[in-house]
Structure 1
Amino acid sequence: MTTWTLTCYDGRTYPLPTPLAWRLEYGVGDPCDSFWVKTLWTEGEEAILADLTRLQVTQGGETLFLGVVDECETCWGPEGCTATFSGRGMQALLLDNQAEAADFGLATWEAILARYVSPYGIALDRGVSLPAAAGFSVASGSSCWKVVYDFARYHGGVTPRFTRAGKLALHPWEDGVPLVLDGGAPVTRVVRRDQRYGVLSQVTVKDVSGWTRQTVVNEAFQAKGGQCSRVLLLPRKTGYQARRYQAQFQLDRSAAQLRTAEVTVALPFAAWPGDLVDLEGWGGGRWRVRESKVTLGEGGYETTLVLADPQAVF
């Protein structure tokens, strides 16, 4: 049985009655995880809504979602009195808080964690060791999430994301047994997509003085007529390896959009972001889940999986 529990700023909790409909969306940081739930509501308890800050979804003792309540709405209509709640995963706390501009001579992960993560009550999924970064800079207007993402991705080579329990995960993908979807699976819809728009053919990085620059090219995409270039301005103190990595990373991340698939399965929680999926039929191939959207509506349970190349950079 799935349990939905709302928590107020002062620690009071309110278990929701059985939802009429709901949607849980999971990703790998972009877009942020999110939720939406609609339930019957007792008229006269609207004052509670302004105090809500968190929502937790559990099943069999396991947390399926932990997030920030962004919006509550009460409606009186043909269904009687209902309430809807929507919000985002715990990543929202890092997205919503802006970091001060800063230059680090040598930035360590411990310093990044203490300054941009821990103040918001976010815990790590497991201990990690990321290399220190020389000349690491935080640009004015950056969110705390961008600081964490840039440090982990550009200098640590890992994709930061949040677990279903609301913890920050920084370990590499752990490939288990792939989910096999074949003619016997309750697949209701499959879409294969080749998308050239947004895929970069060339990236040039240079420092703000303009004296040093490096260009990295996606030769395979250029050979097929791709023409889409970008120029990145980086702080003067950014090292050679960091500049080159950022250029290659931008190419690799954009290339992840070139070939994708979307599969809808008539099951709840069929797979999670990062899982491997083998399609047997519908063009076949091995894929990695980039997004997972689980819904309960009039048609029952559905999981829609957005799939990308297993080696894609997120």
Structure 2
Amino acid sequence: TLAEILQNHAEPYGITCGEIAEVRAASAYTVAAGSSQWKAVESFCRACGGFVPRFSREGELLASPEQAGRTLSIGEGDPVLSCTLREDHYGVLTEALVIDKTQNQEFSVKNQEMIDKGGQCRRVLYTPGQSTWAAMRYTGEYQIQRSGEDAWTAEVTLPGSFLAFPGDRVSLSLERMGLSGTFRVAEAENRFDGGNGALVTLTLKPLKT
């Protein structure tokens, strides 16, 4: 269970857990040799719960699905100092081939969207014995999803401090840049510039489906 993972890999190091989801592995779960304590927790949450653990502003570990915070609206009339859009497809998988050598089975999961764009990046993964077809398919889909998480990023800089925090939502309506919709705040950097005063840069990513 997630509680057992935290007891072994977080709590002994003085980490206080503010939220713990009721997550249990469907089958035996092994922490890979050489993994850091954080990697052990993160991998379990991703693989068995479908979410990423994080820390609260108070420093508590939140091992549960992220809940949407408040929503900040940014439009053409707001004092946007800069806006940068990055789209990087390097490393985004077009196919994940999962192989169970023990049972001599394999399953291919393809990323048709990237294939249609002309991408070509294939990864072969070997699973432990006795893998079920459902588990193999999930492993392939999981690898493709992870490979594309950082493909699209927008950074918006505005005057002010602490306008939003990670987990909050930003509703963009910047038609001149072709940016509209609601996005998740992945990072919020607050700083003070001697010439411009307090500034905040919000790193935005698409909402997970």
**CA deviation after TM superposition for structure 1 residue 194, in Å:** 2.2
Stretches of structure 2 lacking an aligned partner (at least 5 in a row)? none
Structure whose alpha-carbon radius of gyration is higher: 1
Question: 2: distance between equivalents of 1:178 and 1:254?
Answer: 27
Q: Is the 8 A contact 1:135 1:238 kept in 2?
A: no
- What SS class does the counterpart of residue 28 from structure 2 fall into? strand
Stretches of structure 1 lacking an aligned partner (at least 5 in a row)? 1-107
Match in the other structure for 2:201: 304
2:96 matches 1:203: yes
- Going from structure 1 to structure 2, the CA distance change for 1:250 and 1:129 (only over 3 Å counts) comes to same
TM-score normalized by structure 2? Answer: 0.87
Match in the other structure for 1:286: 182
- What SS class does the counterpart of residue 200 from structure 1 fall into? coil
Could you tell me which amino acid in structure 1 is paired with residue 119 of structure 2?
Answer: G
**CA deviation after TM superposition for structure 1 residue 210, in Å:** 7.8
1:220-255 deviation digits (Å, cap 9, x = unpaired) = 111121111112233335554443223212211222
Question: 2: distance between equivalents of 1:119 and 1:235?
Answer: 29
Higher relative contact order (CA 8 A, sep 6+): 2
Could you tell me which amino acid in structure 2 is paired with residue 113 of structure 1?
Answer: L
The structure carrying a bigger strand percent of its residues is 1
- Going from structure 1 to structure 2, the CA distance change for 1:302 and 1:142 (only over 3 Å counts) comes to same
The structure carrying a bigger helix percent of its residues is 2
Could you tell me which amino acid in structure 2 is paired with residue 297 of structure 1?
Answer: D
Matched residues, number: 205
Q: Is the 8 A contact 1:201 1:229 kept in 2?
A: yes
Question: 2: distance between equivalents of 1:143 and 1:208?
Answer: 27
2:13 matches 1:120: yes
- What SS class does the counterpart of residue 19 from structure 2 fall into? coil
- What SS class does the counterpart of residue 220 from structure 1 fall into? helix
**CA deviation after TM superposition for structure 1 residue 208, in Å:** 6.0
Match in the other structure for 2:25: 132
Question: 1: distance between equivalents of 2:134 and 2:39?
Answer: 20
Could you tell me which amino acid in structure 2 is paired with residue 179 of structure 1?
Answer: L
Q: Is the 8 A contact 2:160 2:200 kept in 1?
A: yes
Question: 2: distance between equivalents of 1:183 and 1:263?
Answer: 13
**CA deviation after TM superposition for structure 1 residue 143, in Å:** 0.9
Could you tell me which amino acid in structure 2 is paired with residue 123 of structure 1?
Answer: T
Question: 2: distance between equivalents of 1:126 and 1:257?
Answer: 26
List structure 1 segments (4+ residues) > 3 angstroms apart after TM superposition: 207-210, 237-243
**CA deviation after TM superposition for structure 1 residue 192, in Å:** 1.7
- Going from structure 1 to structure 2, the CA distance change for 1:165 and 1:142 (only over 3 Å counts) comes to same
**CA deviation after TM superposition for structure 1 residue 182, in Å:** 1.3
Question: 1: distance between equivalents of 2:66 and 2:72?
Answer: 15
Question: 2: distance between equivalents of 1:237 and 1:186?
Answer: 57
**CA deviation after TM superposition for structure 1 residue 153, in Å:** 0.8
Q: What pairs with 1:185-224 in structure 2 (closer than 5 Å)? A: 185-207=78-100, 209=102, 211-224=104-117
Match in the other structure for 1:38: none
Q: Is the 8 A contact 2:69 2:167 kept in 1?
A: no
